[in-house]
Amino acid sequence: MKRVDKAPCVELMVRPQCGSCHRVAEQIKPVVEEAGARLSILNVEDDIQLNMEYGDRVPVVVIEGEEFACWEVDNDELAQALLSIHSPGASVDRT
C-alpha cells in the first residue's frame, strides 16, 4: 500500500442485486469510519469500465486504487491496511 497524507479512499465495487455486496458494505463501514477513511460505494453497472474490470466478481474492496479484497473481507486486515497507509513503519501481511 502506498502512503498518503489525506484520509484514505476505500471503494467498494457492488451490483444492486448482490446480497454479499450489501453484507460487506455494512461490515466494513465501521472499520472504515474508525480508520478515518472515506468509503465510496460504486455500482459497477453504472460504469462500463468498472463493469468490464469487475464484472460479476463483486464485492471488491479497493484502497487508494489498489485491489484489497474480493468477495470476503477480514476486518482486522482491513483496519491494518488502512493504518499502514498513515504509518510508514507499519506492514501489511496478507498471507
Domain 9-86 CATH class label:
alpha beta
Confidence band, pLDDT 50/70/90 cuts, at residue 6 = confident
Choose among 69, 40, 75: nearest CA to 57.
69
pLDDT of res. 50: 97
* Residue range 84-93, pLDDT digits in tens: 986 655 444 4
Task: Evaluate whether 61 touches 54 at the Cβ level (below 8 Å).
Answer: no
pLDDT tens by residue, 49-72: 999 999 999 999 999 999 999 999
In the chain, where are the structural domains located?
9-86
Q: What is the DSSP string of 27-38?
A: HHHHHHHHTT-E
